[in-house]
Amino acid sequence: MSKALGFDLSTVEPEEGAPAPEKVLDGDPRFLTWNLEDAGNGLHAGVWQSTPGTWRVSYDEWEYFSILEGHSILTEEGGEPVHLRAGDRMIIQPGFNGIWQVVETTRKDYVVRF
């Protein structure tokens, strides 16, 4: 069995979602999430996409992501806005609280550890 996994998003059924209504500050953001790996030890990887909108975020998990397309602005409470575009990468630590604003439909790949 191969230890490397390739994937084709067209063969994976995405899950639909949205932020909790009480967290939405503007718009009607909708998510698609292609879950590609669940290692069974709290480690998950995949691709996430959101349509425009703004909502509050609060992270209990650790996440690394890379923006594949679109434009988002992530602002930590008390911090400066960070504009995220294709090619930008970020690590979010547990305890992060702030606002995620999708300006243009954004797609990212991610690895999350719970």
Mind listing the pLDDT tens digit for each residue in 44-65?
999 999 999 999 999 999 999 9
Of residues 3 and 5, more confidence is placed in: 5
| Structural domain includes residue 1 | no
pLDDT tens profile 27-37: 999 999 999 99
pLDDT score, position 72 = 98
φ, ψ (nearest 5 deg) of residue 45: -145, 150
pLDDT band at 8 (very low <50, low <70, confident <90, very high): confident
Half-sphere exposure of 45 (CA within 13 A, CB side): 10
Return phi, psi of residue 23, to 5°.
Answer: -95, -15
Q: Report how far residue 15's alpha carbon sits from residue 90's, in angstroms, rounded to the nearest whole number.
A: 23
Does residue 28 lie within any of the structural domains?
A: yes
Query: Is 9 among the domain residues?
Result: no
Question: Would residue 34 count as lying in a domain?
Answer: yes
CATH number at 100 reads 2.60.120.10
Please report the pLDDT score of residue 1 as a whole number.
44
Q: For residue range 62-95, what is the model confidence (pLDDT) as tens digits? A: 999 999 999 999 999 999 999 999 999 999 999 9
Give the residue-averaged pLDDT of 10-22. Answer: 95
Tokens encoding 47: 């691709």
CB under 8 Å to 114, separation ≥6 — which residues? 42, 44, 60, 61
Q: Tell me how many domains the chain contains.
A: 1
- Does residue 2 lie in a domain region? no
Model pTM score: 0.93
Which pLDDT belongs to residue 81? 98
Range of the domain at 73: 15-113
Query: What one-character DSSP code corresponds to residue 10?
Result: G
What letter represents residue 9's amino acid?
Answer: L
